[in-house]
Structure 1
Amino acid sequence: MQPIQEFLDGKVLLFDKPLRWTSFDVVKKVRILTKVSKVGHAGTLDPLATGLLIVCTGKFTKKINEYMGMEKEYTGTFTLGSTTPTYDLESSPENFIDTSHLTEAGIHATTQQFTGSILQMPPQHSAIKKDGKPLYLSARKGIEVKVEPRPVTISEFVITKIEMPVVHFKVVCSTGTYIRSLANDFGAALNVGGYMSSLCRTRIGEFSLEQAKNLVGFEEEIKRLREEEEA
């Protein structure tokens, strides 16, 4: 079966990444369906995150770095009153602290500490490399690797709903921002701890989640193109 020519020439595809799929799972699916080997994504989404994933094929893979550098928008939830080693639900909550003393006004006000140009410490459970090795390899062995905080820009951070101990948020930020780290730091600033309990990427630059297709629909689209080729 030959590659589908339009994907071989190059396309930019917008997908709504399913929960528990890795970003590479989506790339692999596109490769299998289109029979095009030159496929890549523009910015990893963790398996427990959903939302907009840009996938490029053919000559458009040259634009991946350009798309990766674009501003991102996320929505999701932080759970306050406990932490996890991975800053999300990839690991189990621990260090439980009562949150009944927190006020809505205090929660909203704390977002101001994390708005603008800030220094952010990346998670130990991340793919960032130190001495050529991803941090998560050491973290899984219980070894903490010293890394420097990184400058990021958070242009918008608002709490959209409070259902204690869960708070819903919207964040607009620069590339390289870890929302998991923001959850951990936000909980620490409130002195109760916190972790990211859900995440959805809703925008990358001018591309929005509303424009994205799901993988089932994409598979049906490829099937139609194959039938047209054979007709």
Structure 2
Amino acid sequence: MKSQENFHILDKRNISIKLSRNLEDYPGGIVLVLDKPLKWTSADAVRKLKFRLQRFFNQKNIKVGHAGTLDPLATGILLICIGKATRAAETLQSEEKEYIADICFGATTPSYDLEKEIDATFPFDHIDQELVESLLENLKGEIDQIPPIFSAKLIDGQRAYDIARAGKDAEMKPARIKIHELEVISFNKPLLKIAISCSKGTYIRSFARDIGVAAGSGAHLTALVRSASGPFRIENALNMDEAERIFEIL
């Protein structure tokens, strides 16, 4: 990533280095590599840290944002952009992503994950390791993927999830995405754990739905970790407590 050298990166590798309280000492801004807590929205994480940042840098109007939304029921890398780094959020979120996904065959939900209750069940006894490997091979490459209705996609100025929660129908248009690599970590029927490397804009919930359909069954996502975003890796990400401690005023 060409712009990375302009940022001050905050992660586990430099957590012990004292941070200046003058934001101007970081002309390219700061990118904090956060391991987002389960059940938090990306906006929740920004709000929580912004309060600390306002006090630490003594700037009420400090700019804070995130690069790449992560669903509430997912954990893993969320890049928090601080100061002038917010200008590069779009560049940061365009990087390739890696995920560890847990998928359950035999049932579907309206949200394609555990946000909503199961709405249909399907046979899955016919699904074996050989079939899974074959399906994954066919799902690699560029594909047109339909986003979940319960998503932040904009439809005529409205968020898709607001339309869905109002009980209305919405036409979700397919988006061109690319699946680079798929690797089975474990398969204990009906549970599949896989590693996924993919392009920006890929919905892993939709991937779970699609593999269920391709298997002649149904499927939904039960857990998700974003393990990498561009050059940033989960093993270096800070949990929320660690991130907050960086901006403590002693």
Show structure 2 runs of 5+ residues with no match. Answer: 1-19
Alignment correspondent of 2:204: 179
User: 2:49 is matched with which residue?
Assistant: 30
User: What is aligned with 1:4?
Assistant: 21
Instruction: Name the counterpart of 1:76.
Output: 101
CA contact (8 A) 2:128 2:189 kept: no
The partner residue of 1:120 within 145, 156, 161 is 145
In structure 1, the residue matched to 2:217 is 192
Aligned residue pair count: 223
Give the C-alpha shift of residue 7 in structure 1: 8.0
Asked whether the 8 Å contact 2:46–2:64 carries over to 1, the reply is: yes
Task: Report the aligned-residue RMSD.
Answer: 1.6
Q: Which amino acid aligns with 1:177?
A: T
Deviation at 1:221, TM superposition (A): 2.3
Q: What is the aligned counterpart of 2:85 among 48, 53, 60? A: 60
Q: Tell me, in whole angstroms, the C-alpha distance in 2 between the residues paired with 1:24 and 1:141.
A: 21
SS in 1 for 2:121: coil
Matched, 1:214 2:228: no
Alignment map for 1:131-210 (pairs within 5 Å): 131-210=156-235
Looking at structure 1, the residues matched to 102 and 173 of structure 2 have their Cα atoms a distance apart, in angstroms, of 27
Give the direction of change, closer, same or farther, for the CA distance of 1:58–1:149 in structure 2 (3 Å limit).
same
SS of 1:87 mapped into structure 2: coil
Residue type of the alignment partner of 2:198: C
| TM-score using structure 2 length | 0.85
In structure 1, what is the Cα distance between the partners aligned to 2:190 and 2:196?
Answer: 19
How far is 1:132 from its partner? 1.1
| SS in structure 1 at match of 2:31 | strand
**Mapped pair 1:109 → 2:128:** no
Deviation at 1:158, TM superposition (A): 2.0
- Measure, in 2, the Cα distance between the counterparts of 1:204 and 1:7: 26
Whole-Å separation in 2 of the counterparts to 1:176 and 1:207: 17
Runs of at least 5 residues in structure 1 that lack an aligned partner in the other structure: none
**Whole-Å Cα distance in 1 between the matches of residues 188 and 148 of structure 2?**
26
Please give the per-residue CA displacement for 1:19-55, whole angstroms capped at 9, x wherever unaligned.
0111111111111111153000000101100000100
CA distance in 2, matches of 1:186, 1:90: 19
C-alpha deviation, 1:135, in angstroms: 1.4
- Alpha-carbon separation, structure 1, partners of 2:65 and 2:91: 13
AA partner of residue 44 (structure 2): D
For the structure 1 residues 113 and 144, does the alpha-carbon distance in structure 2 shift closer, same or farther, using more than 3 Å as the test?
farther
Question: Percent of aligned positions with the same letter in both sequences?
Answer: 37
Q: Look up the SS of the partner of 2:169 in the other structure.
A: coil
Q: Which residue of 1 aligns with 2:64?
A: 39
TM-score by length of 1: 0.92
In the TM superposition, what is the alpha-carbon distance from 1:94 to its structure 2 partner?
2.6
Q: Which segments of structure 1 move beyond 4 Å, counting only runs of 4 or more?
A: none
**Structure 1 counterpart SS, 2:95:** coil
User: Aligned to 1:4, what secondary structure does the other structure show?
Assistant: coil
SS in 2 for 1:167: strand
Contact 1:7 1:34 in 2 (8 A): no
